[in-house]
Structure 1
Amino acid sequence: MGSEVSTGGGRTARGRNERRQAILDGAFVVFARHGYAQACVKEIAREAGVAKPTVYNHLNDKESLYREAVEAAADRIGAQALAVVEQLREAAADSDPRAPLAAVARGLLREFSSEDARAVRQLARAQATQFPDLAATVRERTALRVRSALADRLARLALAGRLRPCDPELAAEHFLSLLTGPLEYRPDATSDTDAATATDVFLRAYGT
């Protein structure tokens, strides 16, 4: 405790936040490696580069570690996917939205098929009995957040006449389903071909 008391309040808070983040990152790695039951706090502390008591100083128990580690990873993946969607901000100025939509499709497919994204989905489902709301929380912080941002971009494209008039939330859902659907059947679906196919099918339905 004494090491976290300092007259430099900003430095203390920053150091504590950095340690907490390191613990959450380490916990996610260990839980993804072993699952909930087989993971131990000692290994999480070693992965995070802190002492075992430090883990308990920041998070009270293994249950808190699991929930917060998965949620933090979901936030990170969601933020990365939102950055991809942001590429559509200037697309309304283009005469043909195919290229920017294809670029976004490639980026989203890369994010959703990443090792961390797969681990988040697996961990959220694996302990559904013990954490019944975790899958919904992960979905809110990843898929639903991305859908909302994408709907806003698609609405702007429709207003600019680059897409036909549509329900932007439904259009965003269709676009994302075309990308994420193959992941259920082909876990290695990460190629540019998959993104191009999704873009082509989407534009057949929503293109002008």
Structure 2
Amino acid sequence: MTAAATGRGRIDKRRAILDAAFTVFARRGYAQACVQEIADVAGVAKPTVYNHLNDKETLLRHAVEAAAGIVGADCLDAIAGLRDTDADCEAALRASALRMLKVCNSERARALRALTFAQLSAFPDLAETVGERTSRRLAEALADRLARLTLAGRLRTDDPQIAAEQFLALLSGPLEARSHLGTKATPVSELKVIADAAVRTFLAAYAAV
């Protein structure tokens, strides 16, 4: 077996362990989760888990970081359509808004919010980690897209960062209310209503005239 193959195998095994850890922590909570169950879900021996990640707390931190990274990357993919400054601006905003809502409404994202909130007292820094990898990274990328649309004459805003924050607030507020603060999935039909309303309100303030 080549060194490259061995390296890929180690990376894949670590990824499987982190996925399993996140699943178990989300299901059981930190206190009730055990490393043996994580090993069973990952399909590896318990010592293998410790070989990759030293202890239970390290497992939690890395599992949450990995899950936040996935959710954050999915959110960035959701606004990829806003790069095209020649496209229909309203249609692109509606499509991106709905995709972002679907990401935030996904099982992984809801589990991430619930787990982070549940461990807030014991691991308050996890909320900062999740926020940095998800909402803040998304807000920065969205501000960049809105700035480009403004330069292209499709929007009118003096501060793209504030505009991005307001657009995200128009999406996240109603989603949290309809999903009981993220604990329940929201039907796609309702996500579309939220997305359409957010875009209408946003363009009422920022559409180019």
Q: Check conservation: 1:183, 1:189, Cα contact below 8 A.
A: no
Residues 1:44 and 2:38 are matched in the alignment:
yes
TM-score by length of 1: 0.93
Secondary structure of 2:30 counterpart: helix
Which segments of 5 or more consecutive residues in structure 1 lack a partner in the other structure? 1-5
Residues 1:77 and 2:93 are matched in the alignment:
no
Superimposed CA distance per residue, residues 164-186 of structure 1 (whole angstroms, 9 cap, x where no aligned partner) = 13201101001111111112211
After the TM superposition, which segments of 4 or more aligned residues of structure 1 sit over 4 Å from their partners? none
Secondary structure of 1:36 counterpart: coil
Of 177-186 and 52-61, the range deviating more from structure 2:
177-186
Aligned to 1:93: 86
Q: Matched residue pairs, number?
A: 200
Aligned to 1:3: none
The correspondence for 2:12, drawn from 11, 14, 18, is: 18
Q: What percent identity do the matched residue pairs reach?
A: 57
Secondary structure of 1:93 counterpart: coil
Of 73-82 and 118-127, the range deviating more from structure 2:
118-127
Map of 1:24-173 to 2, 5 A cutoff?
24-90=18-84, 92-94=85-87, 96-173=88-165
Q: By how many angstroms is 1:189 displaced? A: 6.3
Q: Check conservation: 1:125, 1:135, Cα contact below 8 A.
A: yes
Which segments of 5 or more consecutive residues in structure 2 lack a partner in the other structure? 180-185
Q: Check conservation: 1:179, 1:198, Cα contact below 8 A.
A: yes
Aligned to 1:193: 193
Q: Check conservation: 1:124, 1:135, Cα contact below 8 A.
A: yes
**Which letter maps to 1:175?**
F
Q: Check conservation: 2:68, 2:130, Cα contact below 8 A.
A: yes
Q: By how many angstroms is 1:93 displaced? A: 0.9
